[in-house]
Chains A and B, each alone.
Chain A
């Protein structure tokens, strides 16, 4: 009996010793904190575009031995909690992470509202923030030195859209936009971009988020027969508008719906044939670079077939790449990380990223299109992964 126990203890000690060399190299883990929406209205976006990337990144880093901190590999420890899609909870969580827990780094939450609330906080505590799902000119205008927006802002995105339309001979356009900051800013930017473009806006209507029926609006737009339809919409409304456009028989040459078209969900709900030719906000896919393909495959494999979305997910991963490089170069000194992020041109899976102030000005505005079951970048030509199909087929 005693001998058996001794044997087991000896075996346990041996196995512990055999992995000890790996343990020895890790010392203290790098503590990285964040709050993410796991319940509530923001969950859909957060669980597609952001949190899976954080988890994948931590897993990949730890599999390679840990995060490279100026040559020393240290394990990543993610400290996360649910923010319940509530701004107050978000603020409180980050106060705890940065103020009491004093984590080494923080990752941003999902959405413009939460980032608005947390950005001044991050600034006050001196933690650099690379936000992939925040979109607003006003965030840029706040001029917070520790806050960086990875996503293209409304002005370049709408300018790219208008340029693409101009190059393809579009003369008339109709627009619907959701009744909140995202919709309003994009609509305002669109109006500015349309000045002097020769494209006439024949109808523009705003609608409240969560609307259940857009068919009267779509029917009246159909009567005006515009060449292009532009919707600044959120995923549920994007899908609703697409389905109802099919229902009323509205088949413009160009159908653009901003958020949600980049999601795998869109292809699932509309079917690949139904999604064919639809345009939307997207800036990358697996063909953009070898790194992008590696990321795409790793993501799909880890999450059992769940693909990253073709817009914010890529920018989220790019932000993590930037953070990784920063920590490798300058260690965990947050001011130094901030300076590195602000002053370097970064090479990431979506191309070059460079910040002017808070805004990423190196990634141009882009437009993507569903072609044969894949969301290809079709504009600008230098970033395109496929050629634009300028005649959208009838809805299937």
Chain B
């Protein structure tokens, strides 16, 4: 299958999925639509995150900051602008912050960058808290009149489809290849003429725009927005977890993982809530250790390789524990001495 065919296949699958998602509200219960909404939210967030962070290996923990900026925009501006105006403004402000942040910090690598984005997210949260408190004299905002569930659902669906479609499409352009190059070896990419700074900032801004838009849409479900709920770091963590476990570098990995985890979260929550989080943690550790490409990189060969690995491990242990290894070592030493 050449690249063109893959592109068509991907787009077709996306089309099918979005059609199904579109039809959902018409004949499913309100609860199922709610679940689908959360699922779509994480699809959007983790796909856009994976597109930038998976390929370029810059782990961003700033998702909750952008989400919160979008949510706060809604909280402040819902009365003033139209619905789409608010979403666009939320996405726009988040993008602006991302560009500023990116220009300042994207020259740092690896863990520095991750820690820094986390620090900046917290900084933004505390700054908005303080500003609200001192200037507006209040600390949260109440949304009195909110749009219907249908509007929210379709907006988030649109954002999710946009995130996945752009992920599919841009991957094949020079932009996507440049990101991959940065992830592989940044210096070499630079010598090959890639404007790494611009590319990185653009990628970072992409994640921010989607996160801001999604945040702006979801905020109306909570009636009361305060910095603590809007900038909830758990949203950022869960996005990263889902993208990593699904396979950050792939298109479909984050999507599949988002669906799986939304369902898992809901079922486990009703039985054993802590088990869900513990499962997430263990799954992540196992993935990083044994499946660095994420769930999407699972193939039949992977299972075969694991089986072979475990068999050779067992063989080595048997060799060691039965004393054969010690005997062979002794014999080899004797042979060496005798041989001389």
Contact = CB atoms under 8 A, between A and B. Distances in A.
Nearest to A87: B222
B223 interface: yes
A113 B230 CA distance: 12
B37 to A, nearest CB: 8
A35 to B, nearest CB: 10
B218 A88 contact: yes
Contacts of A179: 129, 133, 139
Contact of B226 (A91, A95, A119, A181): A181
Interface stretch (A78-86, A222-230, A283-291, A380-388): A78-86
A24 interface: no
A112 B142 CA distance: 12
Nearest to A80: B270
Contacts of B269: 81-82, 84, 89
B151 interface: no
Main secondary structure of the interface of B (DSSP, over half): helix
Contact of A92 (B31, B226, B228): B31
A302 interface: no
Contacts of B126: 208
Contacts of A84: 269, 273
B142 A142 contact: yes
Nearest to A96: B31
Contact of A100 (B31, B144, B146): B31
Interface string B124-165: 001001000100011110101010000000000000000000
Contacts of A89: 269
Interface string B192-205: 00000000000000
A91 B31 contact: no
B38 interface: yes
B274 A92 contact: no
Contact of B34 (A39, A91, A180, A184): A91
Given A38-B273, A81-B270, A89-B269, A99 B221 contact: no
B234 interface: yes
B224 A95 contact: no
B3 interface: no
Contacts of B38: 88, 92
Given A39-B273, A86-B234, A96 B34 contact: yes
A212 interface: no
A88 B219 CA distance: 9
A136 to B, nearest CB: 8
B234 A88 contact: no
Interface in B211-231: 218, 221-224, 226, 228-229
A84 B274 CA distance: 9
Contacts of B138: 181, 184
B17 interface: no
A91 B34 CA distance: 9
Given A82-B269, A208-B126, A180 B226 contact: yes
A88 B242 CA distance: 18
Nearest to A89: B269
Interface string A198-231: 0000000010100000000000000000000000
| Residue with the greatest number of chain A CB neighbours at <10 A, chosen from B126, B138, B273 | B273
Nearest to A141: B142
Interface string B258-297: 0000000000011001100100000000000000000000
Contacts, number: 80
- In the complex, which range does the number of interface residues on chain A fall in? 20 to 34
B274 A39 contact: yes
Contacts of B224: 112-113, 116-117, 138
B274 A113 contact: no
Given A38-B273, A82-B273, A142-B144, A117 B29 contact: no
A393 interface: no
A92 B35 contact: yes
A208 B129 CA distance: 9
A89 B221 CA distance: 11
A141 to B, nearest CB: 8
B224 to A, nearest CB: 3
Main secondary structure of the interface of A (DSSP, over half): helix
A272 interface: no
Interface string A64-103: 0000000000000000011010111101100110011000
Given A39-B273, A81-B269, A180-B228, A100 B223 contact: no
A39 B269 CA distance: 10
Given A84-B273, A86-B234, A116-B223, A95 B229 contact: no
Contacts of B229: 87, 113
B133 A91 contact: no
A298 B234 CA distance: 38
A120 interface: yes
B30 A99 contact: yes
Contacts of A99: 29-31
Interface in B31-52: 31-32, 34-35, 38
A100 B29 contact: yes
Nearest to B30: A99
A301 B222 CA distance: 38
Nearest to B234: A86
A88 B126 CA distance: 22
B272 to A, nearest CB: 9
Contacts of A86: 232, 234
Contacts of B277: 39
Contacts of A96: 29-31, 34
Contact of A95 (B31, B133, B218): B31
A8 B307 CA distance: 52
Nearest to B138: A184
Contacts of B35: 92
| Residue with the greatest number of chain B CB neighbours at <10 A, chosen from A86, A91, A96 | A96
Contacts of A95: 30-31, 34
A387 to B, nearest CB: 37
20 contacts: A39-B273, A39-B274, A84-B269, A86-B232, A87-B222, A88-B222, A89-B269, A91-B221, A92-B35, A95-B34, A96-B31, A99-B31, A100-B31, A113-B226, A116-B224, A142-B144, A179-B129, A180-B226, A181-B138, A181-B226
- Please list the 8 inter-chain residue pairs (A to B) with the smallest Cβ-Cβ separation, ordered nearest first: A116-B224, A96-B31, A99-B30, A82-B273, A100-B29, A92-B34, A100-B31, A117-B222
Given A81-B270, A116-B224, 14 more contacts: A39-B274, A91-B34, A91-B222, A95-B31, A95-B34, A96-B30, A99-B29, A99-B31, A112-B224, A117-B222, A120-B223, A180-B140, A180-B226, A181-B139
